Chains A and B, each alone.
Chain A
Amino acid sequence: MPLTSSPTTRAAFSINGAEHQTVGPYLFDGYRLHPSAWDELFGRGGDPHDHCCGLVERLGRLHVSEFLGRRTSADLAFVNQGITFSVYADRRGVEKIFPFDLIPRPIPAVEWAKLEAGLVQRIKTLNLFLHDVYHDQRIIKEKVVPEDLALGSKGFRKEMVGFTPPGGVYVHICGTDLIRDAAGNFVVLEDNGRTPSGVSYVLENRAVMKKVFPQLFQDIRVKRVEDYPHRLRDALASVAPAGAGAPPCVVVLSPGQYNSAYFEHSFLARHMGVELVFGPDLFVHDDVVYLKTTRGPQRVDVIYRRLDDDFLDPEAFRPDSLLGVPGLFRAYRAGNVTLANAVGTGVCDDKAVYPYVEDMVRFYLSEEPILKNVKTYICARPDDLAYTLDHLEELVVKAVNESGGYGMLMGPSSTAAQRSEFAAKIRECPRNYIAQPVVTLSTVPTWTDDGPAPRHVDLRPYIITGKSTWVLPGGLTRTALVKGSLVVNSSQGGGSKDTWVLEGR
């Protein structure tokens, strides 16, 4: 009986290796490419890219019914492990899982090698820039970066002038957002040099994928991501201050259990094998930071803080902060503790400074930038301002100090009223805005209520810098879940996918 001839009854290989008969459509049967975006799995003709053949072949043998079963068990795994973020609306809070899509996003080895080199070059540059901005300001004197943009940045901390953090590293952990345009080129959308989040989802997504699709990982070789916490701990320990213990005492500083990213703080501490502390667990004495333990004070050498500069130390910054540690900045300036990331890194991921990063690479390294930026109009420049105001319909306008998809105007989908309202805001304070042409983000097949459909994605690799620099293979692939949406932030209803950097070719 020719099972394959019937469209509804077919023999399918279970992805676990067992062979049995199931019915219904296969996973990719109903998939239609986006009209113009680059698809991460399929070429324009509908055939998978070379590096995706193995994945598409295996996933493509999966019936939708079985795929949905695995989807349910993946969601359950997230719930049972409490991989959730809290929405504290009522007394006991509501916990939600970050939507996870089971179809992975592959990146071929060769392409990854180039991205990796580009990211290393970029982070090296940003660290050099920060050192320069807080010391000689050569780049400003030589008029490569305008003085008012750099020194006028909200992220610039005058308290850091003349001070060099231990090991000379400013950005220990960087999350650089990349997008792929319609032609298939990766470009940098923004750098996150303060406290980039999301890496715990990279590791948890992978763990869940391995549970749900064990056979896939036997058949297709994917670079490991599990080393991240140890790499991070070692990198932080490598830039401990002089006088630190051996091994240095590293801690993760969280704003507390009600923070929406608390799961991640706890995750990192657990996997790094270090203490998770809250501000009130620490105190400063004689410019040295100590941990309050059941057996007395214990010296702390390195603090991976998940707290903004403003809240770090009520003596130095916001006096009303209850989350920070009084005297911490003094201890830092005295060279007795390493803070990761350093204070004042906000100046390097300011959206108005971003357009100059390519020039910075040339300036500091005398190299051509491997990774390109998206074309950016800086509203602080009169010409760019005029262009932006004339072309609002085609541009994305962003407030320079906002993140998480807030303070944005998406030109093509905006109403005339929204545009005029935004135009007024831009005129009022041009320094606060930049504009970019709309980039049609690449797509990956994503499961929706209507079956598999192309949804836009970005990519946030994580770069760790201590004595040397290491890039986590892959990173967080964030996906917009709403049709046509180009905004992938989780705060705006985005989800995520497992990112596969393939071994070999």
Chain B
Amino acid sequence: MISRVAEHCFWLARYLERAENAARVLEVNHTLLLDFHVPVEQQWKPVLIISGIHDYEKEPTAENVQEHMTWEEENPFSISSCLFWARENARIIREVISGEMWERINFYHLWAQSPAARESYDTDRHEFYAQVRRINQLVHGIADATMSHGEAWEFFKLGTYLERASQTARIMDVKYHTLLPKVEDVGTPTDNAHWVAILMSCSGYEPFHKKPRPNPIDPAMAVAEFLIFDEQFPRSIRRCVWECEGAAAAAAGNPVGREPTVAETEIGELLTWLDRRTIADIVHDGMHETLTHVVDSVHRIGEAVHASFFAAEVKPPPRAAQPQSLAGMSQSQS
């Protein structure tokens, strides 16, 4: 497919995923604060930090930060911006995604700009964030059921899982920033409650509990292990990176013995890095450091994807000497 189109597909998925996760982050922070006393200045600033926003000038109150992360047009990470850019990417490649997908994306972009969305935000914020999450879920359902599962689909998947890997890491990191862990708190009921909140904000509560576990273990470690390493849960970091690996390989084409693209190599490295570690290692090295490594790796993978697929120098094919008499025959180009 056209490199530019592949790029729009990739970013469409990333912006949709980002909007969903912005809603998840805001909600989990809100939930965490309900139960625990945290100094006011520490309450909402972490949300900005994990989104990579370091130049916020206003006072980081609950309302200011949520406003900034939900509505601010100048903030490229706000929900409204993400929906706008998702829609803009979709508009450019309407001929590639399905009509139903486009219509929903367009519909929710218009919704986000409408007074109805604002009213929902003002009157029932929990429902508002839930609605934002549903947008991405709905679009993915439509995409799965109506879009051809060809190359464009692989880029859509690649964008989705890459963004999600980094967002799951960021959501877990909220805890680190908001509730600076104190050694004496680790393993206490309070600490465990934090982890349950994180788990729920990643929609992982039920899958986590359904997993058979032979021995009674530290619940906090179990949750962290689940969100980082689980092989089946579609929001765990490892599962997301593994999905990226498959999507990148499919996007690159599958001839045996093919030289892997830089993107595939980078993804493979992160996967190996995760495979060589256990949750015990991570606790030892530091949770925040691990999550930072994941976020940084995702950034590198993003650049590699760009270099491998979107900005690759396209070399002209050698022009086969073609006798005039054969000119009418079909000519295959790879």
Contact = CB atoms under 8 A, between A and B. Distances in A.
Contacts of B106: 80-82
B317 to A, nearest CB: 6
A288 B315 CA distance: 13
Interface string A270-294: 1000011110110101101011111
B176 interface: no
Interface stretch (A132-140, A295-303, A337-345, A422-430): A295-303
B316 A257 contact: no
Interface string A178-215: 00000000000000000000000000000000000000
Contacts of A286: 316, 319
A82 B91 contact: yes
A285 B320 CA distance: 13
B322 A243 contact: yes
Nearest to A252: B95
A292 B3 contact: yes
Nearest to B81: A92
Contact of A296 (B94, B95, B314, B331): B314
Given A266-B95, A283-B314, A297-B317, A245 B333 contact: yes
A467 to B, nearest CB: 15
Contact of A80 (B2, B4, B91, B110): B110
B4 A281 contact: yes
Interface in B264-320: 309-310, 312, 314-317, 319
A270 B91 CA distance: 12
A245 B331 contact: yes
Contacts, number: 100
B116 to A, nearest CB: 14
A295 B315 CA distance: 10
B251 A80 contact: no
Contacts of A283: 314, 316
A267 B102 CA distance: 12
A290 B103 contact: no
Interface in A231-247: 242-246
Interface residues of B, number: 40
A79 interface: yes
A257 B89 CA distance: 10
A144 B72 CA distance: 65
B257 interface: no
B19 to A, nearest CB: 16
Interface residues of A, number: 37
B151 A242 contact: no
Interface in A61-110: 79-82, 91-92
B253 interface: yes
Contacts of B94: 82, 266-267, 270
Contacts of A82: 91, 94, 102-103, 106
A325 interface: no
B145 interface: no
Contacts of B218: none
A278 B92 CA distance: 11
A290 B315 CA distance: 10
B51 to A, nearest CB: 21
A285 B316 contact: yes
B2 A293 contact: yes
Contacts of B327: 242-243
A269 interface: yes
B34 interface: no
Contacts of A80: 103, 106-107, 110
Contacts of B330: 245-246
A270 B316 contact: no
B319 to A, nearest CB: 5
Given A79-B110, A291-B2, A299 B103 contact: no
B106 to A, nearest CB: 5
A278 B4 contact: yes
Contacts of B331: 243-245, 299
A291 B3 CA distance: 9
A295 B334 contact: yes
B147 to A, nearest CB: 13
A201 to B, nearest CB: 16
A297 B316 contact: yes
Contacts of B92: 257, 266
Interface string B1-36: 111111000000000000000000000000000000
B328 A243 contact: yes
Contact of A295 (B107, B253, B319, B332): B253
User: What 7 pairs between A and B have smallest CB-CB spacing?
Assistant: A285-B316, A270-B95, A246-B330, A243-B327, A269-B95, A292-B314, A82-B106
30 contacts: A81-B103, A82-B94, A82-B102, A82-B103, A92-B84, A243-B322, A244-B331, A245-B331, A245-B333, A246-B330, A257-B88, A262-B91, A266-B92, A266-B95, A269-B95, A270-B99, A275-B5, A278-B4, A280-B4, A281-B4, A285-B319, A290-B333, A291-B2, A293-B1, A293-B3, A294-B2, A294-B151, A294-B310, A294-B312, A296-B314
